[in-house]
Structure 1
């Protein structure tokens, strides 16, 4: 089975995440207002941005691991049991490291 479309999807998503994380970093670095209420809203917003940044970094790590599996010739095989990951699963989660059975086991 050819996995070229998954590699392209992973690379595209990696580029998107890189831009999003740069935007988040710029927003966090902006000078804040001095009004107490505005500061409270900005702090809440920063917490959301930081959470988005963390989830983006986690997704980047998963994508890089998937790309490494491409390089190693192991993409599409479950890292736990070695069985082939279904195309249906890879269509939804192209950075999947586990087959559906192993993912369900936790």
Structure 2
């Protein structure tokens, strides 16, 4: 397996996982709410948490799609800010990162 296939497989797997999670969040948010005020308040708090998770997931999907585009362009692993190589260790932990350690700081 070459160096490009490994991050691509990880990114695609994570994209699939996030897609499933976001569909579950959407389904949960579409559930009807209770008529009881106390229950409705608790459900609304839960909805706010789900909305936050959905937004975070959507942002991660955007980062993954951008990383996949960099793979297609042949620029994956290059910092988009300074052009230096992103360390393999950093890409192992954050495969969708567009920045080297210095530029991310």
TM over 0.5: yes
Residue 38 of structure 1 is matched in structure 2 by: 39
Alignment of 1:1-106 (within 5 A): 2-104=3-105
- TM-score in terms of structure 2 length: 0.97
> Which digits, 9 at most, give the CA deviation of each residue in 1:71-95, with x for residues without a partner?
1110000001111100000010000
Question: 1:44 Cα deviation (Å)?
Answer: 0.0
CA deviation vs aligned residue, 1:27-69 (integer Å, no higher than 9, x gap): 0000111001100000000000000000000000000000000
| Structure 2 gap segments, 5+ residues each | none
User: Separation in 1 of the partners of 2:29 and 2:5?
Assistant: 36
Runs of 4+ displaced beyond 2 Å: none
Normalising by the residue count of structure 1, what TM-score does the alignment of the two structures yield? Answer: 0.96
Unaligned runs of 5+ in 1: none
